[in-house]
């Protein structure tokens, strides 16, 4: 019995040791492989995160570069003149450019301007066209349109809506002109924004505020005319500047009490 047991042990013991050694080697290999794959996965994740951070940094750098490209004149308009929230909708700005190139867009604005200032022979005709353009026609009854065309106080409601819409649209065109490096479009939008704010200043009851805005607009228009003298549209603003200068001086006299 003892010899048989020893024989069995002597035969199977080495085999058992070999079996467990092989099993340990396989387990070690599998664990090492698993850890290596896990390490590679986390390294890939870390690399992806670092790449995203790098991309974000590059985007921030591009944004900063674009901001630095904006001229002081545009910054003055965006900050001091157009006190509205910046809109960065590419589709909206593309639409603004399309409408500008189509010419009909600014024809609509011209109709509104003529209707508001009542300097046309038939202001009602211009007013109806402008209301149709801005999709406001259905909001006004025929009698209301008549009163607006005659210059009653109801005109103020239309004026406010038009002014807000026009300023927003011109601002989008201004941003787009810089993005497209379109100098002619920039000059046009800059002049129109300045003109709109000048007309707004004239509508105020506060003489001090009127003069302050007019003086700023005069300075800005003179700067545009000096920088871009070759555009016909720029030259057309000579009379506007002169009228603003005269009004500003008259306003100053009114505040001093020398005129009534």
Asked if residue 79 has pLDDT above 50, the reply is no
Please compute the mean of the pLDDT values over residues 49-68 and round it to a whole number.
56
Decide if 231 contacts 187 (C-beta within 8 A).
Answer: yes
Give the integer Cα–Cα distance in Å for 192 and 195.
5
DSSP 81: I
pLDDT tier at 210 (50, 70, 90 boundaries)? Answer: confident
Asked if residue 201 has pLDDT above 50, the reply is yes
Q: Which of 36-45, 144-153, 211-220 has the highest mean pLDDT?
A: 211-220
At a CB cut-off of 8 Å and minimum separation 6, what does 136 contact? 158, 161
Give the integer Cα–Cα distance in Å for 107 and 122.
16
Output the six-digit token pair for 90: 């590419």
Give the integer Cα–Cα distance in Å for 182 and 231.
13
Decide if 86 contacts 63 (C-beta within 8 A).
Answer: no
Between 204 and 74, residue with greater pLDDT:
204
Give the integer Cα–Cα distance in Å for 96 and 101.
9
Q: Output phi, psi for 181, to 5 deg.
A: 55, 45
Residue 192's SS3 state is helix
At a CB cut-off of 8 Å and minimum separation 6, what does 199 contact? 117
Give the integer Cα–Cα distance in Å for 54 and 46.
12
In this prediction, residue 74 carries a pLDDT of 45
Between 224 and 98, residue with greater pLDDT:
224
pLDDT tens string 3-48: 666 666 666 667 777 777 777 777 777 777 777 776 777 677 666 6
In this prediction, residue 250 carries a pLDDT of 72
**Closest alpha carbon to 94 in 105, 83, 84:** 105
Give the integer Cα–Cα distance in Å for 233 and 253.
31
Output the six-digit token pair for 66: 């674009």
Which of 64-73, 74-83, 212-221 is predicted with the least confidence, judged by mean pLDDT?
74-83
| Helix pair angle (155-179, 123-133), 10° resolution | 60
């Amino acid at each position: 019995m003892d010899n048989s047991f020893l024989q069995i042990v002597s035969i199977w013991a080495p085999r058992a040791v070999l079996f467990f050694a092989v099993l340990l080697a396989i387990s070690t290999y599998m664990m090492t492989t698993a850890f290596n794959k896990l390490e590679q996965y986390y390294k890939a994740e870390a690399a992806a995160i670092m790449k995203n951070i790098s991309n974000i940094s590059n985007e921030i750098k591009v944004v900063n570069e674009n901001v630095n490209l904006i001229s002081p004149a545009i910054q003055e308009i965006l900050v001091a003149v157009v006190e509205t929230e910046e809109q960065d909708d590419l589709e909206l700005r593309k639409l603004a450019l399309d409408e500008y190139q189509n010419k009909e867009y600014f024809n609509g604005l011209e109709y509104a301007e003529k209707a508001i200032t009542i300097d046309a022979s038939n202001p009602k005709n211009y007013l109806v066209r402008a209301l149709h353009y801005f999709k406001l026609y259905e909001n006004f009854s025929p009698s209301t349109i008549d009163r607006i065309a005659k210059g009653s106080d109801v005109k103020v409601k239309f004026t406010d809506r038009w002014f807000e819409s026009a300023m927003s649209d011109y601002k989008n065109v201004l941003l787009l002109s810089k993005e497209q490096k379109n100098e002619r479009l920039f000059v046009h939008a800059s002049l129109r924004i300045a003109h709109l704010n000048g007309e707004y200043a004239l509508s105020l009851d506060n003489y001090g505020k009127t003069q302050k805005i007019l003086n700023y607009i005069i300075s800005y228009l003179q700067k545009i005319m000096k920088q871009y003298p070759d555009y016909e549209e720029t030259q057309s603003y000579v009379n506007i500047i002169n009228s603003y200068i005269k009004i500003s001086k008259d306003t100053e006299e009114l505040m001093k009490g020398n005129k009534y």
